[in-house]
Chains A and B, each alone.
Chain A
Amino acid sequence: MSLLVAKGLSKQFNGLLAVDDVSLDIPQGQVRALIGPNGAGKTTLVGLLSGRLPSSGGKISFDGRDVTGLSAHKRIAMGMAYTFQITSIFPNLPVWENVALGARRVFRSATEADRKVEAALSRVGLLDRASEDAGDLSYGHQRLLEIAMGLAQAPKLLILDEPTQGLADGEVAAFNNLIGELRATTTVLLIEHNMDVVMQVADFVTVLNAGQVLFEGTPEEVQASAAVQAAYLGGEHAEA
């Protein structure tokens, strides 16, 4: 069964077509990676899916319901969780409270919310820093905190925008494990530049180029595709 279906989605910014007639179908339980060169429209696309940006055309349905006209907070209340590409946390509030704000909306019982906060924080390895102000964490830890804020909502769909950017190697490995554990319960949509992460965690990959879907397939198929290599892997990342 499909959890998220987008049909003919587009977004114009002053005449510039950032997302151009994109259709996506993400089945329940899948880890889907969204890749593409810079400026391909990846962040704009997840902005449309989460409702952060109004779409210029197309239809989105989530969990069997048409959500095209719903505001972002309503979509999130339906079980989407969103983490920002540019870290967006509550820097003046304790780490615990950052995550608790996510959990309390979903779990009305205080003890249950506390349990979810504790679980989410220990999953990303930040439990021992729970009482510190979030703004005092290092950049990498703030990225992990954002992931914990998403996890604590126990979402049906977790949207992660470049979560491994700025993480140390060991933290990237821990992130891969984390996604592996989530697989059983959560559908994940992941924007990722690190191809090693994509190869390890993704079930299926959508390649975006110039606002359009260039290719879709398993990670192996994507690596083998000549078109993708021309647009993306063979481009700026050839020597990396």
Chain B
Amino acid sequence: MTSEVRKIIGLHGGVLAILLLLQFVLPAYHHGNLARIMVLATYAIGYNLLFGYTGLLSLGHALFFAAGLYGMGLGMTQLGLSAGGALLLGVLAGATVGAVIGALALRTEGVAFMIVTLMFAQAGYLTVLYFGAYTRGDEGFVIQQADRMLWGFDLSDPSNRYFAAFVVFAVAFLAPLTVLRSRFGRVLIAIRENEERAMMLGYDVMRYKLMAVVLSATLSALSGAAYGLLFGYVGASFASVQYSIFPLLWVLLGGAGTALGPLVGTVFMFYLIDLSSGITTAYMLIAGVVLVCLTLFAPQGLMGEIRNRFWRWLP
């Protein structure tokens, strides 16, 4: 047991250390990409908590990402909050939306849950467009450089931005790792494995699922708020259905129910599109073929396959 824990700490601490050090060696282009990837991987981690560990497939997570993004953005433009306050408002908005949507959507199961979450997210997207006077709809709005100051750091500066993205990612990365080793996290896994048995062991399955939705929504909102703050743009496309599908893809590729899967999947997908679009304009074709191959040959995702074949101890 202890040697396993040591391996887990070694591997995941090592990944964090590498991410921290990469900023000193990467060329500017990849440096910027990696900052973006770390923020988006935070979103994937939030998604994975619900999908990979609790076994609930949501098709509406863009709503939570957008709640963070707009909570932060509108907090700044409409309420005149500072960067820190706006970030906090974004995260709180995500948690609140998660609690409300969770309480409603969890009355359904399976396919119905997917459809209900999808519909709520569409309603959210249309709400953003409807209040175009504040949100500026599809066109969106820019967060001015002067507003992107957090505790004296200018977040538009690449190395500050990288470091901020790293901090956000590290928090999101470590939180589920500890949660899932706790009593609470183990009940979530039990629900994924056999919901009826978990209930008949005396666990209030509904309450645990709701807490999982809120936690997942909170991390997704943290990602959304950080994304807007670090990259200076808030727009309705982030609330669209595409942004509900992305985290599902990232998590499936990287390995649902693995701690490293969300990061691996996000990096993989990001560079798959980046590299293939350098080769041809039909880059989605290449991406599609690779995705089909992955689902055929590594249905558990990259980290899931590694766990099955080599590292049984991988969390």
- A residues apposed to B, CB below 8 Å: 50, 52, 72-74, 76-77, 82, 84, 88-93, 97, 100-102, 104-106, 149, 153
Q: Considering only CB atoms and an 8 Å cut-off, how many residues of chain B contact the other chain?
A: 17
Of B190, B194, B201, which is within 8 A of A76 by CB?
B201
Taking the closest CB of chain A, its distance from the CB of B183, in whole angstroms, is 5
In contact, A76 and B197 (Cβ under 8 angstroms)? no
**Once A and B bind, how many residue pairs between them come within 8 Å at the CB atom?**
51
In Å, the complex CA distance between A50 and B201 comes to 11
In Å, the complex CA distance between A82 and B198 comes to 11
Give every chain B residue within 8 A of A88 (Cβ-Cβ).
194, 196-197, 200
Type the 1/0 row for B158-194, where 1 means its CB is closer than 8 Å to any CB of A. Answer: 0000000000000000000000000100110110011
In contact, B186 and A97 (Cβ under 8 angstroms)? yes
Of B196, B201, B204, B205, which is within 8 A of A101 by CB?
B201
In contact, A73 and B193 (Cβ under 8 angstroms)? no
In contact, A102 and B189 (Cβ under 8 angstroms)? no
In contact, A90 and B200 (Cβ under 8 angstroms)? no
Chain B residue nearest to A50 (CB atoms) is: B200
Chain B residue nearest to A100 (CB atoms) is: B186
Of B183, B197, B199, which is within 8 A of A90 by CB?
B197
Of A82, A92, A100, which is within 8 A of B200 by CB?
A82
In contact, A101 and B190 (Cβ under 8 angstroms)? yes
Give every chain B residue within 8 A of A92 (Cβ-Cβ).
193
In contact, A153 and B201 (Cβ under 8 angstroms)? yes
Give every chain B residue within 8 A of A91 (Cβ-Cβ).
193-194
Give every chain A residue within 8 A of B120 (Cβ-Cβ).
none
In contact, A105 and B193 (Cβ under 8 angstroms)? no
Give every chain B residue within 8 A of A50 (Cβ-Cβ).
200
Chain B residue nearest to A79 (CB atoms) is: B202
In Å, the complex CA distance between A77 and B202 comes to 5
In Å, the complex CA distance between A50 and B196 comes to 13
Chain A residue nearest to B183 (CB atoms) is: A104
In Å, the complex CA distance between A30 and B189 comes to 36
Give every chain A residue within 8 A of B196 (Cβ-Cβ).
88
In contact, B190 and A153 (Cβ under 8 angstroms)? no
Does B270 lie at the interface of the complex (its beta carbon under 8 Å from any beta carbon of A)? no
In contact, A101 and B200 (Cβ under 8 angstroms)? no
Of B189, B197, B201, B205, which is within 8 A of A105 by CB?
B201
Give every chain B residue within 8 A of A84 (Cβ-Cβ).
197, 200
In contact, B203 and A90 (Cβ under 8 angstroms)? no
In contact, B193 and A90 (Cβ under 8 angstroms)? yes
Given A88-B197, A92-B193, 7 additional A-B pairs, CB 8 A:
A84-B200, A88-B196, A97-B186, A101-B187, A101-B190, A102-B201, A105-B202
In contact, B189 and A149 (Cβ under 8 angstroms)? no
In contact, A76 and B200 (Cβ under 8 angstroms)? yes
Taking the closest CB of chain A, its distance from the CB of B224, in whole angstroms, is 33
In contact, B193 and A149 (Cβ under 8 angstroms)? no
In contact, B194 and A89 (Cβ under 8 angstroms)? yes
In contact, A149 and B194 (Cβ under 8 angstroms)? no
Give every chain B residue within 8 A of A153 (Cβ-Cβ).
201-202
Taking the closest CB of chain A, its distance from the CB of B263, in whole angstroms, is 23
In contact, A90 and B202 (Cβ under 8 angstroms)? no
Identify 17 residue pairs between A and B in the complex whose beta-carbon atoms are under 8 Å apart, listed by A's number. A73-B199, A73-B200, A73-B202, A76-B202, A88-B196, A89-B197, A90-B197, A91-B193, A91-B194, A92-B193, A97-B186, A101-B186, A101-B198, A101-B201, A102-B201, A149-B201, A153-B201
